[in-house]
Each structure stands twice: as structure tokens, then as C-alpha cells.
Amino acid sequence: MSEASRPIAVLGGTGPAGMGIALRWARAGETIIIGSRDAQRAQDAADKIADQIANQVKEKTGNHTRISGMENSAACAAADILVLTVPFEGQGALLKQLKPALRPGSILIDATVALAAGVGGRASRTLGVWQGSAAQQAAELVPKGVSVVAAFHNLSADLLNGDEDLDCDVIVCSDDASAAHLTRSLAAKIPGVRAIDGGKLENARILEQITALLIGLNIRHKGHGGIRITGLPPQAYD
Amino acid sequence: MSEASRPIAVLGGTGPAGMGIALRWARAGETIIIGSRDAQRAQDAADKIADQIANQVKEKTGNHTRISGMENSAACAAADILVLTVPFEGQGALLKQLKPALRPGSILIDATVALAAGVGGRASRTLGVWQGSAAQQAAELVPKGVSVVAAFHNLSADLLNGDEDLDCDVIVCSDDASAAHLTRSLAAKIPGVRAIDGGKLENARILEQITALLIGLNIRHKGHGGIRITGLPPQAYD
């Protein structure tokens, strides 16, 4: 099975961030499984994305959107590339629930940000996570042999759910170089996105903080903020 | 005295970041005082910047670079716009020393980043600062009536010291709106820089973290990283 045809499960994928990423990858020809606590809700989200793509490409022939919806554990069991797009306050419980379904060799791409909004605070502030970041907490909760990658924190969900190219970079952090490489190749399938190797998973704490900064800028300036990294040689963007 | 003719003291200004900011502002016609522990060293740095500008504009007439060097406390006493570009490990001691020279109504623009390199760790990691950020530590150390602004953390010193336009945004955080406004207008005098209101001083912690991320990217990819914020309406960049 080629890399591109391996299914990707977007867990907690009925929220705006998960839907947006699923939409962009489905459009790029990836096989997507939306995961949710509720299988019907997952299927409804998958149908909505499939319709959105079909409406856009109805003149084209030969397009077969491969997107389905399942309960989170079932989605997890059906894929070995997993993307976690849940609020921080749901991350730990979901990972504990998924543990029996997480196989060694799987890649868990974590986009979680510990926003203070999750405990009644502001979305422009973060909580301190003992391990250093939500992604490092995830790494502690998955079984041995599952590689955790931090990415996709800083993409606007609103823009992901639209049709325009994005104007953002995705910085990818992981202690597993090949999992990071695969994640960068997936990030680069989102039109307008450049993927950058951001080093070890411990650096995820900075990516997570940037989300809080962007949320603050969005509130203050009424925008859909993202970041571009400038000043690196072309080979840094792959 | 017009805003533009008020002298700006760049304290700890003989390092690469201070020299670079001083160069860019002197080129833009600002009156600059380089501050250093050693008055002669400050004067030498000022002369070097004046020469660099004179060499570039020798064909032009009427250019009078107004840049001088003084011991830090004297520089501080001679200006009411102060920029602090010292390593974190020197920030507290310098601010305590400057306290008698800091007048109410002054603006202290702090670019300090608490890099772990200052205590023998890595420049791609930060230290936890009790107050939340180096800038907030500064705010605690200055006399009442001095406004602290956090800015200029994420500009490459190498690029600042060159002749090319920068490709970076400067996010400015402060609890004093008029001090923040003045700082944004100074940031925008650096060619290629857009200034963005980043909200309250507490957000400085994220700006400081971004520097550590950029240093890590520079090491990994051999570049001079900066950031651009995308997706905000034009009026967000002033």
C-alpha cells in the first residue's frame, strides 16, 4: 500500500479544525476516516465534506472522495496515521480510551493546545502542562511504539474549511524523524502550506503558545491569523 | 521637541541586536545614544555605526547621523525612550543600577529573552521567569511611571546589521497604549518591518518563546529566521 493510500483517521474530527484538515486532505486524494464519540455524527461530518468536494468538482470526472465516519476507537483501529484535533480538556480521556486500539508503528499527530478557555479562562492564554506541552502529555499516554508528532496548531479552522489557498507554514516537531517527515509531506498537501522541520517534540510547547498569540491577534484585529517563517533557505521548506 | 527628534538610548547597545537596531534607526534619522557599561566601548560602537551609514550615503548631502555613545546610566539620563538589548542574565542587575536614572514618563522597550544559554543551557530553550516573561520582570524592576513595552525579540541581529530590507513583523505588547503606539511607529521605521499590536505585556512571554523557536530553526536550517503574521486585515499592520 502506498503512503498516499494509507487511511488517515482524524479523531475528534467533527470540530472545525478536524473538519478543515479532513476536507483539505480528502480534496488532495487522501483516504480519510472522521472519528467522533458518536458514529452517526462522524458519518454526517464525512458526508458533509464529501458533498462540499463533490459540489466543487462536479464538472470533473473520475473523482472519488474517500471519506467515511466512525466512532473514535473504530477509526483508530482502521488507520495507522491518526490526527488528534480535540480540545485539551478532552485529550487525556480520549487517549486513555483509545489505548487498546493504538498499535505500535502508528503515528499520532497531535494538534492539541492547552488553552485556558478549557477551564473557563481565555483562549488567548495557555495552561501550564507538567510535561511541557499537550503533545508531550500525549506522548506519555500512548503505548510504546506509537510515535507522536506535533503539528497543525497554527492553521485557521475557518480558512481550512474554505476553498482558498492558505498563507501559513506548519512547523512539525517530533522525536521520530520518519514520522515527522510523513507529517510534513501531509502538511504540504494543504494548498499554500509549507512544512518546516521544527526539531524535537519538546518544541511543541512553543507551537502551542503561538496558537494562543494568534487567537489574541484574531480577537484584537478581527482576522484569521497564521504565521510564516521567513529567512530560512529554500531547502528548509519541504 | 517632535517625537522623531527625541533621543533613543539603546542600553547594552554594543551587542549585535542593539547595534543593528541602532543602525536602522540612525539611518532613518533618529537620534541614537548607544549605552554600555564602558563609555569608550559605547562611543566606539556609535562611531562604527556612523561610519557604516556615512559609507553608504557618501554621495548624498545633508545627512547628519546623530549617534553617540555613553555609559548606560548617562545614556538613560539623556533619553526618555530606552531600549534594553542585554542578555537575560544581565537584565535585572542593569535595571537595578539604572533605577535612579529612570524618570517617570520614560518608556522602556524591552527585547530581553530568557534563553537557557544564559545559564549554560541551550539557546533554543527558555527559562521560566516567575513573572511570566523577561518583560514582566522588567516591569517589576522599573520605578512607577515608567512604561514597559515588549518588542523586537524576533528580528535577526545579522539581518539588522546588514543593508537589506527585513522580511519580519514586530509584535508589540504593553499595558500602556500610547507607549505601544510609539514603539510600533519606531518599529515601522526599520525597512521591511510591519508592526502589530500584540496586546498586553503578559503576552510578551509568547514573543520571547518565539525567539527560542527561531534560534532552533536557524541552527537546524542554517538561516536567519523571522516571522510574518498572515491573515490579519491591513489596518492591523501600522
Task: Inform me whether the C-beta atom of residue B229 falls under 8 Å from chain A C-beta atoms.
Answer: yes
Task: Inform me whether the C-beta atom of residue B131 falls under 8 Å from chain A C-beta atoms.
Answer: no
Specify the higher pLDDT residue, A61 or A157. Answer: A157
Q: Report residue B65's pLDDT band, with 50, 70 and 90 as the boundaries.
A: confident
Kindly state the cell numbers that stand for A54: 463533490
Task: Inform me whether the C-beta atom of residue B199 falls under 8 Å from chain A C-beta atoms.
Answer: yes
Kindly state the cell numbers that stand for A17: 479544525
Q: Which of B171, B206, B231 sits opposite A224 (nearest CB)?
A: B231
Residue A153 predicted with pLDDT over 60: yes
Average pLDDT over residues A215-225: 98
pLDDT in tens, B159-168: 999 999 999 9
Kindly state the cell numbers that stand for B104: 517617570
Which segment of A44-58, A162-176, B95-109 scores lowest on mean pLDDT? A44-58
pLDDT at position A56 is 78
Chain-wide mean pLDDT for chain A? 94
pLDDT at position B1 is 44
Instruction: For residue B191, give the DSSP letter.
Output: T
pLDDT in tens, A98-119: 999 999 999 999 999 999 999 9
pLDDT in tens, B170-214: 999 999 999 999 999 999 999 999 999 999 999 999 999 999 999
Rounded to two decimals, what is the model's pTM?
Answer: 0.95
Average pLDDT over residues B108-116: 97
Task: Inform me whether the C-beta atom of residue A185 falls under 8 Å from chain B C-beta atoms.
Answer: no
State the DSSP H helix or E strand holding residue B35, giving kind and residue range, or none if neither.
strand B32-36
The DSSP result for chain A, as a single string, is --GGGS-EEEETTTSHHHHHHHHHHHHTT--EEEEESSHHHHHHHHHHHHHHHHHHTTTSSS----EEEEEHHHHHHT-SEEEE---HHHHHHHHHHHGGG--TT-EEEE----BGGGGTS-TTSB---TTSSHHHHHHHHSPTTPEEEE--TTS-HHHHTSSSPP--EEEEEES-HHHHHHHHHHHTTSTT-EEEE--SGGGHHHHHHHHHHHHHHHHHHTS--EEEEESS-GGGB-
Chain-wide mean pLDDT for chain B? 94
Q: Which of B198, B203, B223 sits opposite A231 (nearest CB)?
A: B223
Q: Which of A156, A205, A231 sits opposite B225 (nearest CB)?
A: A231
pLDDT at position B117 is 95
Kindly state the cell numbers that stand for A203: 518544541
pLDDT at position A5 is 64
pLDDT at position B59 is 52
pLDDT at position A102 is 96
Average pLDDT over residues A152-170: 97
pLDDT in tens, A39-69: 999 999 999 999 999 987 665 545 567 999 9
ipTM of the complex: 0.94
Q: Report residue A185's pLDDT band, with 50, 70 and 90 as the boundaries.
A: very high
Q: Report residue B238's pLDDT band, with 50, 70 and 90 as the boundaries.
A: confident
Q: Report residue A200's pLDDT band, with 50, 70 and 90 as the boundaries.
A: very high
Task: Inform me whether the C-beta atom of residue A205 falls under 8 Å from chain B C-beta atoms.
Answer: yes
CA A217 to chain B, closest CA, distance in angstroms equals: 6
Percent of chain A clearing pLDDT 70 (strictly above): 95
Whether the CB-CB separation of A126 and A118 falls below 8 Å is answered with no
Q: Which of B197, B207, B225 sits opposite A230 (nearest CB)?
A: B225
pLDDT at position A1 is 43
**What's the one-letter identity of residue A91?**
Q
Task: Inform me whether the C-beta atom of residue B188 falls under 8 Å from chain A C-beta atoms.
Answer: no
